[in-house]
Amino acid sequence: MEYYTLGRSGLRASRLALGTMTFGTESGWGCDRATARALFDRYLDAGGNFIDTADVYSGGTSETWLGEFIAESGTRDRVVLATKFTHNFANTGADPNAAGNGRKHIIRALEASLKRLKTDHVDLYLLHTWDRLTPVEEVLRTLDDLVRQGKVRHAGLSDVPAWYAARAQTMAELRGWETPCALQLEYSLLGRGIEYEFPALCQDRGMGLMVWSPLASGMLSGKYRPGLSAAAQTIDGRLKASAKASAPALQKMTERNWGIVAELERVAGELGRPMAQVAVNWVANRPAVASVILGATSLAQLDDTLPALDFDLPAELEARLDRASALPAAFPYAFIDVMTARMHGGANVGAKPARYFDLPQTRRGGWG
Ligand SMILES: NC(=O)c1ccc[n+]([C@@H]2O[C@H](COP(=O)([O-])OP(=O)(O)OC[C@H]3O[C@@H](n4cnc5c(N)ncnc54)[C@H](OP(=O)(O)O)[C@@H]3O)[C@@H](O)[C@H]2O)c1
Protein backbone atom coordinates (compact mmCIF):
# COMPACT_ATOMS: atom_id res chain seq x y z
CA MET A 1 0.00 0.00 0.00
CA GLU A 2 1.32 3.46 -0.89
CA TYR A 3 0.72 6.54 1.26
CA TYR A 4 0.40 10.21 0.42
CA THR A 5 0.38 13.32 2.49
CA LEU A 6 -3.19 14.54 2.08
CA GLY A 7 -3.10 17.82 0.18
CA ARG A 8 -0.83 20.39 1.80
CA SER A 9 -0.93 18.64 5.18
CA GLY A 10 1.31 16.23 7.05
CA LEU A 11 -1.40 13.57 7.31
CA ARG A 12 -0.24 10.30 5.72
CA ALA A 13 -3.14 8.52 4.09
CA SER A 14 -3.19 5.42 1.89
CA ARG A 15 -4.02 5.84 -1.78
CA LEU A 16 -6.84 3.36 -1.44
CA ALA A 17 -9.26 4.30 1.34
CA LEU A 18 -12.03 2.11 2.73
CA GLY A 19 -15.56 3.47 2.38
CA THR A 20 -18.10 2.40 4.97
CA MET A 21 -21.33 3.68 3.43
CA THR A 22 -22.25 -0.01 2.97
CA PHE A 23 -21.85 -0.79 6.71
CA GLY A 24 -25.43 -1.48 7.79
CA THR A 25 -28.53 -2.84 6.10
CA GLU A 26 -30.83 0.17 6.58
CA SER A 27 -30.31 1.41 3.01
CA GLY A 28 -31.40 -1.89 1.45
CA TRP A 29 -28.04 -2.29 -0.30
CA GLY A 30 -25.52 -2.51 2.55
CA CYS A 31 -23.96 -5.44 4.40
CA ASP A 32 -24.34 -7.06 7.82
CA ARG A 33 -22.02 -6.60 10.78
CA ALA A 34 -19.94 -9.75 10.22
CA THR A 35 -19.25 -8.77 6.60
CA ALA A 36 -18.42 -5.19 7.60
CA ARG A 37 -15.95 -6.50 10.19
CA ALA A 38 -14.35 -8.78 7.59
CA LEU A 39 -13.98 -5.83 5.19
CA PHE A 40 -12.42 -3.71 7.95
CA ASP A 41 -9.94 -6.45 8.91
CA ARG A 42 -9.00 -7.26 5.30
CA TYR A 43 -8.38 -3.61 4.48
CA LEU A 44 -6.09 -3.07 7.49
CA ASP A 45 -4.30 -6.37 6.80
CA ALA A 46 -3.60 -5.11 3.28
CA GLY A 47 -1.83 -2.08 4.78
CA GLY A 48 -4.59 0.50 4.37
CA ASN A 49 -4.98 3.19 7.02
CA PHE A 50 -7.61 5.61 5.64
CA ILE A 51 -11.27 4.92 6.53
CA ASP A 52 -14.15 7.12 5.44
CA THR A 53 -17.57 7.30 7.08
CA ALA A 54 -20.30 9.89 7.76
CA ASP A 55 -22.82 10.44 10.53
CA VAL A 56 -25.66 9.82 8.07
CA TYR A 57 -24.48 6.45 6.72
CA SER A 58 -27.03 3.74 7.60
CA GLY A 59 -28.61 6.11 10.10
CA GLY A 60 -25.53 6.04 12.35
CA THR A 61 -24.84 2.30 12.14
CA SER A 62 -21.74 2.80 9.99
CA GLU A 63 -20.06 4.99 12.62
CA THR A 64 -21.24 2.76 15.48
CA TRP A 65 -19.83 -0.43 13.96
CA LEU A 66 -16.64 1.30 12.88
CA GLY A 67 -16.14 2.63 16.42
CA GLU A 68 -16.58 -0.89 17.77
CA PHE A 69 -14.20 -2.43 15.21
CA ILE A 70 -11.50 0.14 15.92
CA ALA A 71 -11.86 -0.27 19.69
CA GLU A 72 -11.90 -4.08 19.50
CA SER A 73 -8.86 -4.20 17.20
CA GLY A 74 -6.95 -1.52 19.16
CA THR A 75 -6.17 0.37 15.94
CA ARG A 76 -7.32 3.92 16.79
CA ASP A 77 -3.84 5.44 16.49
CA ARG A 78 -3.03 3.67 13.25
CA VAL A 79 -6.31 4.49 11.50
CA VAL A 80 -6.79 7.81 9.73
CA LEU A 81 -10.45 8.29 10.55
CA ALA A 82 -12.59 10.57 8.39
CA THR A 83 -16.22 11.45 9.02
CA LYS A 84 -18.68 14.13 7.87
CA PHE A 85 -21.50 16.40 9.00
CA THR A 86 -24.41 18.11 7.18
CA HIS A 87 -27.29 15.69 6.94
CA ASN A 88 -30.05 14.98 9.44
CA PHE A 89 -30.58 11.27 9.36
CA ALA A 90 -33.58 11.43 11.66
CA ASN A 91 -35.14 13.65 8.97
CA THR A 92 -38.24 14.38 11.03
CA GLY A 93 -38.47 17.98 9.89
CA ALA A 94 -38.93 18.99 13.51
CA ASP A 95 -35.57 20.67 14.06
CA PRO A 96 -33.94 22.65 11.22
CA ASN A 97 -30.75 23.04 13.28
CA ALA A 98 -30.28 19.26 13.41
CA ALA A 99 -28.76 19.43 9.94
CA GLY A 100 -26.90 21.79 7.62
CA ASN A 101 -23.57 23.48 8.05
CA GLY A 102 -24.31 26.05 10.76
CA ARG A 103 -22.11 26.15 13.88
CA LYS A 104 -24.93 24.87 16.11
CA HIS A 105 -25.26 21.71 14.06
CA ILE A 106 -21.56 21.10 13.34
CA ILE A 107 -20.69 21.01 17.04
CA ARG A 108 -23.65 18.80 17.89
CA ALA A 109 -22.92 16.48 14.96
CA LEU A 110 -19.27 16.07 15.95
CA GLU A 111 -20.14 15.26 19.57
CA ALA A 112 -22.58 12.57 18.36
CA SER A 113 -20.03 11.15 15.90
CA LEU A 114 -17.30 10.98 18.56
CA LYS A 115 -19.67 9.07 20.81
CA ARG A 116 -20.58 6.56 18.10
CA LEU A 117 -16.97 6.24 16.99
CA LYS A 118 -15.79 5.76 20.60
CA THR A 119 -12.96 8.25 20.23
CA ASP A 120 -12.08 11.76 21.39
CA HIS A 121 -10.99 13.02 17.96
CA VAL A 122 -11.38 12.46 14.23
CA ASP A 123 -8.43 12.83 11.89
CA LEU A 124 -10.38 14.43 9.06
CA TYR A 125 -13.72 16.19 9.50
CA LEU A 126 -15.52 17.06 6.29
CA LEU A 127 -18.45 19.23 5.40
CA HIS A 128 -20.57 16.62 3.59
CA THR A 129 -22.66 18.76 1.24
CA TRP A 130 -22.93 22.51 0.61
CA ASP A 131 -26.18 23.74 2.23
CA ARG A 132 -26.42 26.92 0.09
CA LEU A 133 -27.11 28.95 3.26
CA THR A 134 -24.40 29.08 5.89
CA PRO A 135 -21.71 31.76 5.45
CA VAL A 136 -18.38 30.15 4.65
CA GLU A 137 -16.76 32.14 7.51
CA GLU A 138 -19.00 30.36 10.02
CA VAL A 139 -18.05 26.90 8.72
CA LEU A 140 -14.34 27.68 8.69
CA ARG A 141 -14.24 29.32 12.12
CA THR A 142 -16.12 26.38 13.62
CA LEU A 143 -13.77 23.85 12.05
CA ASP A 144 -10.80 25.91 13.21
CA ASP A 145 -12.18 25.98 16.77
CA LEU A 146 -12.62 22.20 16.71
CA VAL A 147 -9.03 21.74 15.54
CA ARG A 148 -7.80 24.02 18.35
CA GLN A 149 -9.88 22.03 20.84
CA GLY A 150 -8.13 18.84 19.67
CA LYS A 151 -11.34 17.16 18.57
CA VAL A 152 -10.46 17.39 14.87
CA ARG A 153 -6.99 17.01 13.35
CA HIS A 154 -7.69 18.21 9.78
CA ALA A 155 -10.60 19.73 7.86
CA GLY A 156 -12.03 18.86 4.44
CA LEU A 157 -14.90 19.63 2.08
CA SER A 158 -17.14 17.32 0.06
CA ASP A 159 -19.76 17.94 -2.61
CA VAL A 160 -19.27 21.69 -2.92
CA PRO A 161 -18.97 23.92 -5.99
CA ALA A 162 -15.41 24.76 -7.03
CA TRP A 163 -15.92 28.50 -6.36
CA TYR A 164 -16.96 27.69 -2.78
CA ALA A 165 -13.92 25.47 -2.18
CA ALA A 166 -11.58 28.09 -3.64
CA ARG A 167 -13.13 30.83 -1.51
CA ALA A 168 -12.99 28.69 1.63
CA GLN A 169 -9.39 27.65 1.11
CA THR A 170 -8.16 31.14 0.30
CA MET A 171 -10.06 32.72 3.19
CA ALA A 172 -8.78 30.15 5.70
CA GLU A 173 -5.22 30.69 4.49
CA LEU A 174 -5.40 34.49 4.69
CA ARG A 175 -7.06 34.50 8.12
CA GLY A 176 -4.73 31.89 9.60
CA TRP A 177 -7.52 29.36 10.13
CA GLU A 178 -7.22 25.62 9.54
CA THR A 179 -7.12 25.20 5.75
CA PRO A 180 -9.13 22.33 4.22
CA CYS A 181 -6.61 19.74 2.99
CA ALA A 182 -9.04 17.41 1.21
CA LEU A 183 -11.84 17.69 -1.29
CA GLN A 184 -14.11 14.63 -1.59
CA LEU A 185 -16.00 14.34 -4.88
CA GLU A 186 -17.64 11.83 -7.18
CA TYR A 187 -15.23 10.82 -9.95
CA SER A 188 -15.11 7.84 -12.29
CA LEU A 189 -15.00 6.91 -15.96
CA LEU A 190 -18.76 7.53 -15.96
CA GLY A 191 -18.58 10.78 -14.02
CA ARG A 192 -15.79 13.12 -15.12
CA GLY A 193 -17.72 16.36 -14.61
CA ILE A 194 -15.32 17.52 -11.90
CA GLU A 195 -12.47 17.71 -14.41
CA TYR A 196 -13.43 21.14 -15.73
CA GLU A 197 -12.64 22.90 -12.46
CA PHE A 198 -11.53 20.73 -9.58
CA PRO A 199 -8.14 19.08 -10.33
CA ALA A 200 -6.57 22.45 -11.18
CA LEU A 201 -8.14 23.96 -8.06
CA CYS A 202 -6.80 21.13 -5.89
CA GLN A 203 -3.31 21.47 -7.29
CA ASP A 204 -3.29 25.24 -6.98
CA ARG A 205 -4.74 25.37 -3.46
CA GLY A 206 -3.07 22.27 -2.00
CA MET A 207 -6.07 19.99 -1.52
CA GLY A 208 -5.92 16.23 -2.07
CA LEU A 209 -8.79 14.88 -4.14
CA MET A 210 -10.62 12.00 -2.43
CA VAL A 211 -12.62 10.09 -5.02
CA TRP A 212 -16.03 8.62 -4.18
CA SER A 213 -18.01 6.13 -6.27
CA PRO A 214 -14.99 5.12 -8.39
CA LEU A 215 -17.08 2.25 -9.81
CA ALA A 216 -20.14 4.44 -10.41
CA SER A 217 -22.00 2.51 -7.69
CA GLY A 218 -20.94 -0.82 -9.18
CA MET A 219 -21.75 -0.23 -12.85
CA LEU A 220 -18.06 -0.25 -13.81
CA SER A 221 -17.61 -3.71 -12.30
CA GLY A 222 -19.26 -5.00 -15.47
CA LYS A 223 -21.84 -7.11 -13.67
CA TYR A 224 -24.94 -5.37 -15.05
CA ARG A 225 -26.48 -6.31 -18.38
CA PRO A 226 -25.95 -3.61 -21.05
CA GLY A 227 -29.00 -1.97 -22.54
CA LEU A 228 -31.37 -2.77 -19.67
CA SER A 229 -32.67 -0.16 -17.25
CA ALA A 230 -31.56 -0.41 -13.62
CA ALA A 231 -34.97 -1.72 -12.53
CA ALA A 232 -34.95 -4.42 -15.23
CA GLN A 233 -31.54 -5.84 -14.23
CA THR A 234 -31.60 -9.45 -13.12
CA ILE A 235 -28.48 -9.32 -10.94
CA ASP A 236 -28.73 -7.92 -7.42
CA GLY A 237 -26.80 -4.77 -6.57
CA ARG A 238 -27.17 -1.19 -5.39
CA LEU A 239 -28.17 0.22 -8.79
CA LYS A 240 -31.03 -2.23 -9.07
CA ALA A 241 -32.00 -1.96 -5.39
CA SER A 242 -32.12 1.84 -5.50
CA ALA A 243 -33.61 2.18 -9.00
CA LYS A 244 -37.01 3.34 -7.76
CA ALA A 245 -35.64 5.80 -5.20
CA SER A 246 -32.92 7.23 -7.44
CA ALA A 247 -33.57 10.66 -8.97
CA PRO A 248 -33.61 10.76 -12.81
CA ALA A 249 -30.63 13.15 -12.72
CA LEU A 250 -28.56 10.42 -11.07
CA GLN A 251 -29.53 7.72 -13.57
CA LYS A 252 -26.38 5.91 -14.69
CA MET A 253 -27.64 3.34 -17.17
CA THR A 254 -27.59 5.54 -20.26
CA GLU A 255 -26.51 4.67 -23.80
CA ARG A 256 -23.38 6.80 -23.44
CA ASN A 257 -22.38 5.05 -20.22
CA TRP A 258 -22.93 1.58 -21.70
CA GLY A 259 -20.46 2.58 -24.45
CA ILE A 260 -17.85 3.47 -21.85
CA VAL A 261 -18.47 0.22 -19.95
CA ALA A 262 -17.97 -1.71 -23.23
CA GLU A 263 -14.60 -0.03 -23.87
CA LEU A 264 -13.56 -0.69 -20.26
CA GLU A 265 -14.46 -4.35 -20.74
CA ARG A 266 -12.27 -4.56 -23.88
CA VAL A 267 -9.32 -2.81 -22.18
CA ALA A 268 -9.62 -4.96 -19.04
CA GLY A 269 -9.76 -8.08 -21.24
CA GLU A 270 -6.56 -7.08 -23.06
CA LEU A 271 -4.83 -6.47 -19.72
CA GLY A 272 -6.18 -9.66 -18.14
CA ARG A 273 -7.45 -7.66 -15.14
CA PRO A 274 -10.96 -7.37 -13.66
CA MET A 275 -12.87 -4.32 -14.91
CA ALA A 276 -13.18 -2.95 -11.35
CA GLN A 277 -9.39 -2.90 -10.92
CA VAL A 278 -8.86 -1.07 -14.21
CA ALA A 279 -11.56 1.50 -13.38
CA VAL A 280 -9.99 2.21 -9.97
CA ASN A 281 -6.47 2.32 -11.42
CA TRP A 282 -7.57 4.82 -14.09
CA VAL A 283 -9.14 7.23 -11.60
CA ALA A 284 -6.37 6.84 -8.99
CA ASN A 285 -3.84 8.10 -11.51
CA ARG A 286 -5.75 11.20 -12.59
CA PRO A 287 -4.18 14.57 -11.70
CA ALA A 288 -4.66 15.74 -8.08
CA VAL A 289 -6.14 12.43 -6.91
CA ALA A 290 -4.81 11.59 -3.44
CA SER A 291 -7.07 8.69 -2.47
CA VAL A 292 -9.76 6.52 -4.02
CA ILE A 293 -12.45 5.34 -1.60
CA LEU A 294 -13.36 1.70 -2.20
CA GLY A 295 -16.88 0.52 -1.43
CA ALA A 296 -17.90 -3.13 -1.11
CA THR A 297 -20.72 -5.31 0.16
CA SER A 298 -18.68 -8.53 0.30
CA LEU A 299 -15.12 -9.65 0.91
CA ALA A 300 -14.92 -10.99 -2.64
CA GLN A 301 -15.59 -7.47 -3.99
CA LEU A 302 -12.89 -5.89 -1.84
CA ASP A 303 -10.44 -8.61 -2.85
CA ASP A 304 -11.30 -7.81 -6.44
CA THR A 305 -10.48 -4.09 -6.14
CA LEU A 306 -7.67 -4.00 -3.55
CA PRO A 307 -4.95 -4.97 -6.09
CA ALA A 308 -6.04 -2.07 -8.33
CA LEU A 309 -2.73 -0.23 -8.00
CA ASP A 310 -0.52 -3.31 -8.41
CA PHE A 311 -0.07 -2.69 -12.15
CA ASP A 312 0.57 0.16 -14.57
CA LEU A 313 -2.11 0.99 -17.08
CA PRO A 314 -0.25 1.18 -20.43
CA ALA A 315 -0.48 4.65 -21.99
CA GLU A 316 -2.32 3.46 -25.11
CA LEU A 317 -4.99 1.68 -23.05
CA GLU A 318 -5.35 4.68 -20.76
CA ALA A 319 -5.78 6.87 -23.85
CA ARG A 320 -8.56 4.61 -25.13
CA LEU A 321 -10.43 4.94 -21.84
CA ASP A 322 -9.85 8.71 -21.88
CA ARG A 323 -11.30 8.96 -25.39
CA ALA A 324 -14.33 6.78 -24.68
CA SER A 325 -15.27 8.82 -21.60
CA ALA A 326 -14.11 12.30 -22.70
CA LEU A 327 -16.13 15.35 -21.70
CA PRO A 328 -17.30 17.81 -24.33
CA ALA A 329 -15.12 20.92 -24.67
CA ALA A 330 -16.63 23.70 -22.58
CA PHE A 331 -16.31 27.44 -22.15
CA PRO A 332 -14.15 29.13 -20.90
CA TYR A 333 -11.46 26.45 -21.14
CA ALA A 334 -12.01 25.54 -24.79
CA PHE A 335 -11.94 29.24 -25.69
CA ILE A 336 -8.80 29.91 -23.66
CA ASP A 337 -7.08 26.94 -25.37
CA VAL A 338 -7.78 28.48 -28.75
CA MET A 339 -6.63 31.95 -27.66
CA THR A 340 -3.45 30.87 -25.84
CA ALA A 341 -1.19 31.16 -28.88
CA ARG A 342 -2.14 34.83 -29.25
CA MET A 343 -1.46 35.70 -25.62
CA HIS A 344 2.30 35.52 -25.85
CA GLY A 345 2.81 37.14 -29.23
CA GLY A 346 3.58 33.77 -30.78
CA ALA A 347 6.40 32.97 -28.31
CA ASN A 348 6.39 29.52 -26.72
CA VAL A 349 5.83 30.55 -23.09
CA GLY A 350 3.59 27.73 -21.90
CA ALA A 351 5.99 24.80 -22.10
CA LYS A 352 8.07 24.18 -18.98
CA PRO A 353 11.47 22.50 -18.97
CA ALA A 354 11.35 18.86 -17.91
CA ARG A 355 11.33 18.43 -14.11
CA TYR A 356 10.56 22.14 -13.56
CA PHE A 357 9.02 22.29 -10.07
CA ASP A 358 9.02 18.50 -9.96
CA LEU A 359 9.24 18.27 -6.17
CA PRO A 360 7.95 15.00 -4.68
CA GLN A 361 4.73 16.71 -3.59
CA THR A 362 3.90 17.90 -7.08
CA ARG A 363 3.52 14.47 -8.62
CA ARG A 364 0.13 12.92 -9.17
CA GLY A 365 -2.02 13.05 -6.06
CA GLY A 366 0.07 15.72 -4.40
CA TRP A 367 -0.13 19.45 -4.78
CA GLY A 368 1.47 21.65 -7.36
N1 LIG B 1 -18.97 12.46 0.01
C2 LIG B 1 -20.02 11.88 -0.54
O3 LIG B 1 -21.02 12.52 -0.85
C4 LIG B 1 -19.98 10.41 -0.80
C5 LIG B 1 -20.99 9.83 -1.58
C6 LIG B 1 -20.94 8.47 -1.84
C7 LIG B 1 -19.90 7.70 -1.30
N8 LIG B 1 -18.95 8.29 -0.52
C9 LIG B 1 -17.84 7.48 0.08
O10 LIG B 1 -17.21 6.75 -0.95
C11 LIG B 1 -17.25 5.36 -0.65
C12 LIG B 1 -17.31 4.57 -1.94
O13 LIG B 1 -18.46 4.97 -2.69
P14 LIG B 1 -19.34 3.90 -3.44
O15 LIG B 1 -19.71 2.81 -2.50
O16 LIG B 1 -20.39 4.64 -4.15
O17 LIG B 1 -18.21 3.33 -4.45
P18 LIG B 1 -18.36 2.50 -5.80
O19 LIG B 1 -17.05 1.81 -5.97
O20 LIG B 1 -18.81 3.34 -6.93
O21 LIG B 1 -19.50 1.44 -5.52
C22 LIG B 1 -19.31 0.40 -4.60
C23 LIG B 1 -20.36 -0.66 -4.85
O24 LIG B 1 -20.12 -1.29 -6.10
C25 LIG B 1 -20.33 -2.69 -5.97
N26 LIG B 1 -19.01 -3.32 -6.14
C27 LIG B 1 -17.83 -2.93 -5.58
N28 LIG B 1 -16.83 -3.73 -5.99
C29 LIG B 1 -17.37 -4.63 -6.82
C30 LIG B 1 -16.82 -5.70 -7.54
N31 LIG B 1 -15.52 -5.99 -7.48
N32 LIG B 1 -17.67 -6.43 -8.32
C33 LIG B 1 -18.98 -6.15 -8.39
N34 LIG B 1 -19.56 -5.13 -7.70
C35 LIG B 1 -18.75 -4.38 -6.93
C36 LIG B 1 -20.92 -2.92 -4.58
O37 LIG B 1 -22.31 -2.70 -4.60
P38 LIG B 1 -23.39 -3.88 -4.81
O39 LIG B 1 -22.87 -5.11 -4.15
O40 LIG B 1 -24.64 -3.36 -4.18
O41 LIG B 1 -23.53 -4.04 -6.28
C42 LIG B 1 -20.30 -1.76 -3.81
O43 LIG B 1 -21.01 -1.44 -2.65
C44 LIG B 1 -18.45 5.20 0.29
O45 LIG B 1 -18.38 4.06 1.11
C46 LIG B 1 -18.35 6.46 1.11
O47 LIG B 1 -17.36 6.29 2.12
C48 LIG B 1 -18.97 9.63 -0.28
Whose Cα sits closest to atom 46 in ligand 1? 19
User: Residue length, the chain?
Assistant: 368
List beta partners, residue 186. 212
Q: How far is the CA of 142 from the centre of ligand 1 (A)?
A: 30
Residue 88 domain flag: yes
Q: How far is the CA of 348 from the centre of ligand 1 (A)?
A: 44
In sequence order, what are the residues at sequence separation of 6 or more whose Cβ sits closer than 8 angstroms to the Cβ of residue 16? 1, 48, 50, 280, 284, 291, 292, 294, 305, 306, 308, 309
Which pLDDT band, with edges at 50, 70 and 90, does 199 fall under? very high
The string of pLDDT tens digits covering residues 180-194 is: 999 999 999 999 999
- Work out which ligand 1 atom sits closest to the CA atom of 236: 41
End-to-end CA distance of the chain: 23
C-alpha span between 297 and 276 (Å, rounded): 14
Residue 116 domain flag: yes
Whose Cα sits closest to atom 12 in ligand 1? 295
Q: How far is the CA of 296 from the centre of ligand 1 (A)?
A: 6
Whose Cα sits closest to atom 25 in ligand 1? 218
Instruction: Quote the domain boundaries for residue 139.
Output: 3-362
Residue 198 domain flag: yes
Q: Is the C-alpha dihedral spanning 125, 129, 131, 132 positive or negative?
A: positive
In sequence order, what are the residues at sequence separation of 6 or more whose Cβ sits closer than 8 angstroms to the Cβ of residue 250? none
Residue 23 domain flag: yes
The string of pLDDT tens digits covering residues 263-286 is: 999 999 999 999 999 999 999 999
* Ligand 1 neighbours (beta carbon < 6 A): 19-22, 29, 52, 158-159, 184, 212-218, 221, 223, 237-238, 276, 293, 295-297, 301, 304-305
Residue 367 domain flag: no
Residue 193 domain flag: yes
In sequence order, what are the residues at sequence separation of 6 or more whose Cβ sits closer than 8 angstroms to the Cβ of residue 352? none
Which pLDDT band, with edges at 50, 70 and 90, does 350 fall under? low
Distance set, CA 123 to CA 80, 114, 128, 185 (Å): 6, 11, 15, 18
Task: Report the CATH number at residue 80.
Answer: 3.20.20.100
| Contact assessment for residue 22 and residue 30, using Cβ atoms and an 8 Å cutoff | yes
Number of domains in the chain: 1
Residue 100 domain flag: yes
- Work out which ligand 1 atom sits closest to the CA atom of 294: 12
C-alpha span between 2 and 230 (Å, rounded): 35
Most confident of 220-229, 246-255, 282-291: 282-291
Residue 368 domain flag: no
Helices (H) and strands (E) in the chain, counts: 12, 10
